[in-house]
């Protein structure tokens, strides 16, 4: 069990605010400060530094956070292992919406049909939320499309996919044009925090553009709704090729061919850096990848 002072430390890391951490933990702010001071004195380090009222995690604090997060995740894994049939393959993980709906279904179908001893729990959230669940031990591993702090996780490339601009079959006749020439269209895009949104945002910023350059923008958290709106000729979107493969094949959608836009991104299988169960996660990766 993690020491109560470490729980306080993790709460401050999450909020970067001593007052907010005290509210979440239902303790006083002086108690939060005392817990942090006790850890700093025990290890002889500074966990945080301050710029005015801004709280910043130090490098030593980041290393300790990674260690405690890994321990928390492993303890939750072990507790769950003890409470279930220990011979079962255990899949307690999370995926982003694109991966969960369009990549994992055939993989899980094969595994479930072959494995009679299987404990399965799959959470579907955006990348930011999945990393929070992983850090707090609510899931064992995640398969994401967004960006993450490479020093905090061990990772392997699960799949590569292209992010492509799409429209309905007869929506527009522009092809072999630059991306700026489609800015006058209505863009349907995932919410902030989603991997799809972040990959598009970073790609455009690398070209000195931004999502805000589009004439109109609508944020929608459901991929099927986005595809339906685009299929009905109401605008365009940028989606992973695996997400729109069926619609392109049957002619309901088509890729808009751009001369200066290319975005290929990894779908990443990751777990906490330093986990006791690293070999186990490596094996699960091979099982899932093999399917």
Q: What is the pLDDT of residues 263-283, one digit of tens each?
A: 999 999 999 888 888 888 898
Nearest Cα residue to 240 out of 108, 134, 144, 150: 144
Instruction: Give the span between the Cα atoms of 198 and 146, in whole angstroms.
Output: 6
Do 100 and 69 meet the contact criterion of CB atoms below 8 Å apart? no
CB neighbours of 275 closer than 8 A, spacing ≥ 6?
70, 73, 74, 154, 281
The pTM score is 0.70
Percent of the chain with pLDDT over 90: 53
Two tokens, residue 243: 């997400």
3-state secondary structure string across the chain: CCCHHHHHHHHHHHHCCHHHHHHHHCCCHHHHHHHHHHHHHHHCCCCEEEECCEEEECHHHHHHHHHHHHHHHHHHHHHHHHHCCCCCEEEEEEECHHHHHHCHHHHHHHHHHHCCCEEEEEEECCHHHHHHHHHCCCCCEEEECCCCCHHHEEEEEEEEEEEEEEEECCCCCCCCECHHHHCCCEEEECCCCCHHHHHHHHHHHCCCCCHHHCCEEEECCCHHHHHHHHHCCCCEEEEEHHHHHHHHHCCCEEECCECCCCEEEEEEEEEECCCCCHHHHHHHHHHHHHC
Percent of the chain with pLDDT over 70: 94
Predicted confidence at residue 183, as pLDDT, reads 96
Instruction: Give the span between the Cα atoms of 274 and 153, in whole angstroms.
Output: 8
Beta bridge partners of 94: 123, 142
Q: Kindly indicate the confidence band of residue 249, based on its pLDDT and cuts at 50, 70 and 90.
A: very high
Q: Kindly indicate the confidence band of residue 85, based on its pLDDT and cuts at 50, 70 and 90.
A: low
Q: What is the pLDDT of residues 213-242, one digit of tens each?
A: 999 999 999 999 999 999 999 999 999 999
Rama region for 239: left / alpha / beta (φ>0; ψ in -120 to 50; rest) = beta
Predicted confidence at residue 259, as pLDDT, reads 95
Q: What is the pLDDT of residues 13-70, one digit of tens each?
A: 888 999 999 998 999 999 999 999 999 999 899 999 998 888 999 989 888 887 887 7
CB neighbours of 222 closer than 8 A, spacing ≥ 6?
97
Mean pLDDT of 72-76: 73
Predicted confidence at residue 81, as pLDDT, reads 64
What is the C-alpha radius of gyration for the chain, rounded to an integer number of angstroms? 22
The dotted CATH code for 4-80 is 1.10.10.10
Domain boundaries, the chain: 4-80, 87-158+267-289, 161-264
| 161-264 shares the fold of 87-158+267-289 | yes
Fold (CATH) for 87-158+267-289: D-Maltodextrin-Binding Protein; domain 2 (3.40.190)
pLDDT of residue 84 exceeding 70: no
The domain covering 161-264 belongs, at the CATH homologous superfamily level, to Periplasmic binding protein-like II (3.40.190.10)
Predicted confidence at residue 254, as pLDDT, reads 95
Nearest Cα residue to 162 out of 242, 255, 224, 249: 242
Q: What values do phi and psi take at 72, rounded to 5?
A: -60, -45
Q: What is the pLDDT of residues 139-166, one digit of tens each?
A: 889 999 888 888 889 999 999 999 999 9
């Amino acid at each position: 069990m993690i020491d109560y002072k470490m729980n306080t430390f993790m709460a401050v890391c999450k909020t970067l605010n001593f007052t907010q951490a005290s509210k979440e933990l239902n303790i006083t702010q002086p108690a939060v400060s005392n817990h942090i001071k006790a850890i700093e004195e025990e290890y002889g380090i500074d966990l945080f530094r301050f710029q005015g009222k801004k709280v910043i995690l130090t490098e030593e604090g980041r290393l300790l956070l990674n260690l405690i997060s890994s321990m928390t995740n492993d303890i939750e894994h072990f507790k769950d292992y003890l409470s279930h049939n220990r011979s079962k393959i255990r899949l307690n993980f999370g995926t982003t919406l694109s991966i969960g709906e369009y990549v994992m279904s055939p993989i899980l179908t094969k595994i479930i049909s072959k494995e009679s001893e299987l404990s399965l729990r799959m959470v579907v959230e955006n990348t930011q939320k999945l990393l929070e669940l992983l850090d707090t031990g609510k899931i064992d591993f995640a398969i994401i499309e967004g960006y993450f702090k490479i020093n905090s996780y061990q990772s392997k490339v699960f799949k590569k996919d292209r992010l492509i601009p799409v429209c309905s079959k007869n929506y527009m006749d522009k092809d072999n044009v630059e991306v700026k020439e489609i800015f006058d269209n209505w863009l349907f895009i995932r919410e902030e925090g989603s991997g799809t949104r972040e990959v598009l945002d970073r790609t455009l910023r690398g070209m000195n553009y931004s999502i805000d350059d589009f004439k109109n923008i609508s944020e929608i958290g459901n991929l099927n709704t986005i595809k339906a709106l685009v299929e009905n000729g109401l605008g365009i979107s940028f989606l992973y090729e695996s997400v729109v493969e069926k619609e392109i094949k049957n002619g309901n959608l088509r890729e808009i061919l751009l001369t200066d836009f290319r975005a290929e991104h990894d779908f990443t299988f990751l777990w906490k850096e330093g986990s006791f169960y690293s070999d186990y996660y490596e094996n699960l990766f091979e099982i899932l990848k093999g399917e």
